């Protein structure tokens, strides 16, 4: 298998076994036709981009019933609002034009309805803001430029790492951006995944696991420049990248450029580090299985996240261990978890049952969940960062 970006050789360093589609919560009638693939990760020997070795064929992934889940987290809503304020204060002129790629339900873009704005997302549903229900590519970028002109800011959150053809994405952005415009995108940082041991962020939709070194390489290959990087707390540790057509300061955001310092010290891409990460993932699996099998009383899962699909299938945790998974998303309730087929239930059942243990599968929302679940008399079991009982 070769690198999707530069065609270099990939070195495989992690195998998470046979996995189903992470976000495909299913009905009992669909169990027999469920799709599985080998979840493996490699690093490109040339451009150092970390990526999945195998992808799910697009017709399996974006089938008719591809689920759309709106944002439920107040933390994320605040996160987007704060950054929208920063963009309005420093980066977007009053008559400026902002485009969001992967606008989802508009949690971010709704902050810009007083500005010229456009969302691009094949699964967007809202009529509260302007959106193009399409994939973002060179064709749609050219269409937007023809209709509205070039963009001052192009923003994408937790979207770019999902795009298999990254060269096309950056080419399309280059066509869309004004000469002084900024592309700003944020995605989980590979260094944080290694540090926290959050191997469950690896699943089919996340084609790439970004590092500063690899992003610098891919943007430069596509005629753009990496102008700045800033660390974020979201998704267990993310980086926000600022990219432009020319070398320039990023006004007012407090972002230092320090790109060379970041990339020089990025040991999370060294082969020895990658193989020790792989060993620690296997160890986490063994520890979690041992811990769960030593517990007595009722154990359930908390939060039917996409991530949890990797954890549950890799660790072989099924309905014989977790009675059910509680989740607030109406579309998931009444269905079963991918691969392991654990029932997903409304939180009312969790409050009524008062289980002894809840495996925290939505660990990225831990602060919000602990604040909310003060009535829970059982104990939370954690596996990121590290296996423990809270
Ligand atoms: P998310 O953070 O989007 O994770 P992923 O990207 O891995 O899917 O999903 C969080 C899930 O957890 C979502 O299905 C809603 C659920 N959830 C709860 O059930 N209760 C809560 O209090 C929170 C914060 C989330
Ligand atoms: Zn490469």
Rounded-to-integer distance, Cα 233 and Cα 307, Å = 17
What percent of the chain shows pLDDT beyond 90? Answer: 87
- The rounded mean pLDDT for the chain is 94
Pocket test for ligand 1, best of 80, 203, 362 (most atoms within 8 A of CB): 362
State if residue 364 touches ligand 1 by the CB under 6 angstroms criterion: yes
- How far does the centroid of ligand 2 lie from the alpha carbon of residue 215, in Å? 11
- How far does the centroid of ligand 2 lie from the alpha carbon of residue 50, in Å? 9
Pocket test for ligand 1, best of 196, 205, 328 (most atoms within 8 A of CB): 328
- How far does the centroid of ligand 2 lie from the alpha carbon of residue 374, in Å? 48
**Residues contacting 138, CB < 8 A, separation 6+:** 168, 171, 172, 175
pLDDT digits 0-9 by tens, 304-324: 999 999 999 999 999 999 999
Q: Closest Cα partner for 309 from 298, 320, 325?
A: 325
Task: Tell me the mean pLDDT in the region 340-358.
Answer: 98
pLDDT of residue 64: 42
Task: Tell me the mean pLDDT in the region 171-194.
Answer: 97
Ligand nearest to the CA of 11: 2
- How far does the centroid of ligand 1 lie from the alpha carbon of residue 372, in Å? 13
Atom nearest to 328 CA in ligand 1: 19
pLDDT of residue 72: 57
State if residue 362 touches ligand 1 by the CB under 6 angstroms criterion: yes
State if residue 372 touches ligand 1 by the CB under 6 angstroms criterion: yes
- How far does the centroid of ligand 1 lie from the alpha carbon of residue 72, in Å? 7
SS (H, E, C) the chain: CECCCCCCEEEEEEEEEEEECCCCCECHHHHHHCCEEEEEEEEECCCCCEEECCCCCHHHHCCCCCCCCCCCCHHHHHHHHHHHHHHHHHHCCCCCEEEEECCCCCCCHHHHCCCEEEEECCCCCCCCCCEECCCCCHHHHHHHHHHHCCEEEEEEECCHHHCCCHHHHHHHHHHHEEEEEEEEEEEEEHHHHHHHCCHHHCCCCCCEEECHHHHHHHHHHCCCEEEEEEEECHHHCEEEEEEECCCCCCCCCCCCCCHHHHHHCCHHHCHHHHHHHHHHHHHHHHHHHHHHHHCCCCEEEECCCHHHHHHHHHHCCCCCCCCCEECCCCCCCCCECCCCCCEEECHHHHHHHCCCEEEECCHHHHHHHHHHCCCCCCEEEECCCCCEEC
State if residue 107 touches ligand 1 by the CB under 6 angstroms criterion: no
- How far does the centroid of ligand 1 lie from the alpha carbon of residue 362, in Å? 5
- How far does the centroid of ligand 1 lie from the alpha carbon of residue 322, in Å? 17
Beta pairing class for 116-120 and 177-188: unpaired
pLDDT digits 0-9 by tens, 103-116: 988 999 999 999 99
State if residue 72 touches ligand 1 by the CB under 6 angstroms criterion: yes
- Of all protein residues, the one whose alpha carbon is nearest to atom 6 of ligand 1 is 306
State if residue 201 touches ligand 1 by the CB under 6 angstroms criterion: no
Q: Which two tokens stand for residue 157?
A: 């959150």
- Of all protein residues, the one whose alpha carbon is nearest to atom 17 of ligand 1 is 303
Number of Cα atoms under 13 Å in the Cβ half of residue 134: 12
State if residue 365 touches ligand 1 by the CB under 6 angstroms criterion: yes
The pTM for the full model equals 0.95
Q: Closest Cα partner for 58 from 165, 156, 158, 150?
A: 165
pLDDT digits 0-9 by tens, 3-15: 999 999 999 999 9
CA 222 to each of CA 57, 136, 171, 257: distance values in angstroms, whole numbers, following the listed order = 26, 16, 6, 20
Q: Are 291 and 389 in contact (CB under 8 A)?
A: yes
State if residue 304 touches ligand 1 by the CB under 6 angstroms criterion: yes
pLDDT of residue 101: 97
Atom nearest to 364 CA in ligand 1: 2
Q: Which of 67-81, 178-192, 291-305 has the lowest mean pLDDT?
A: 67-81
Atom nearest to 304 CA in ligand 1: 14
- Burial 113-130, CB ≥16 within 10 A → b, else e: eebbbbbbbeebebeebb
Residue 68 has pLDDT above 60, yes or no: no
pLDDT tier at 96 (50, 70, 90 boundaries)?
Answer: very high
Rounded-to-integer distance, Cα 93 and Cα 316, Å = 52
């Amino acid at each position: 298998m070769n690198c999707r970006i530069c065609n270099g050789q990939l070195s495989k360093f992690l195998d998470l076994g046979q996995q189903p589609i992470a976000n495909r919560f299913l009905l009992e009638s669909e169990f027999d036709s469920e799709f599985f693939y080998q979840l493996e990760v490699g690093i490109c020997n040339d451009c150092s981009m970390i990526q999945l070795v195998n992808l799910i064929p697009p017709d399996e992934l974006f089938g008719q019933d591809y689920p759309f889940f709106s944002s439920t987290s107040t933390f994320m809503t605040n996160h987007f609002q704060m950054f929208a304020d920063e963009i309005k204060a420093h980066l977007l002129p009053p008559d400026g034009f902002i485009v969001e790629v992967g606008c989802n339900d508009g949690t971010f873009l709704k902050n810009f309805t007083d500005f010229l704005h456009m969302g691009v997302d094949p699964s967007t549903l809202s009529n509260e803001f302007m959106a193009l229900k399409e994939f973002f590519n060179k064709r749609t970028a050219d269409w937007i430029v023809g209709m509205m002109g070039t963009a001052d800011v192009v923003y994408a959150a937790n979207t770019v790492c999902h795009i298999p053809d990254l060269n096309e994405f950056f080419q399309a952005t280059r066509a869309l951006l004004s000469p002084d415009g900024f592309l700003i995108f944020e995605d989980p940082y590979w260094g944080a995944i290694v540090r926290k041991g959050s191997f469950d962020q690896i699943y089919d939709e996340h084609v790439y696991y970004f590092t500063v070194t690899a992003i610098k390489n891919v943007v430069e290959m596509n005629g753009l420049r990496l102008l700045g990087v800033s660390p974020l707390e979201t998704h267990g540790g993310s980086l926000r990248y600022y990219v432009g057509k020319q070398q320039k300061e990023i006004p007012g955001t407090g972002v230092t450029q320090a790109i060379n310092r970041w990339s020089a010290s990025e040991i999370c891409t060294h082969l020895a580090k990658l193989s020790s990460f792989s060993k620690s993932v296997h160890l986490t699996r063994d520890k979690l299985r041992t811990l769960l099998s030593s517990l007595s009383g009722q154990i359930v899962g908390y939060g039917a996240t996409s991530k949890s699909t990797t954890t549950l299938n890799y660790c072989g945790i099924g309905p014989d261990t977790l009675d059910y998974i509680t989740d607030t998303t109406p579309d998931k309730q009444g269905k079963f978890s991918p691969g392991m087929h654990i029932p997903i239930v409304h939180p009312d059942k969790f409050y009524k049952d008062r289980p002894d243990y809840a495996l925290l599968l939505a660990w990225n929302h831990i602060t919000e969940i602990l604040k909310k679940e003060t009535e829970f008399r059982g104990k939370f079991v954690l596996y990121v960062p590290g296996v423990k009982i809270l």
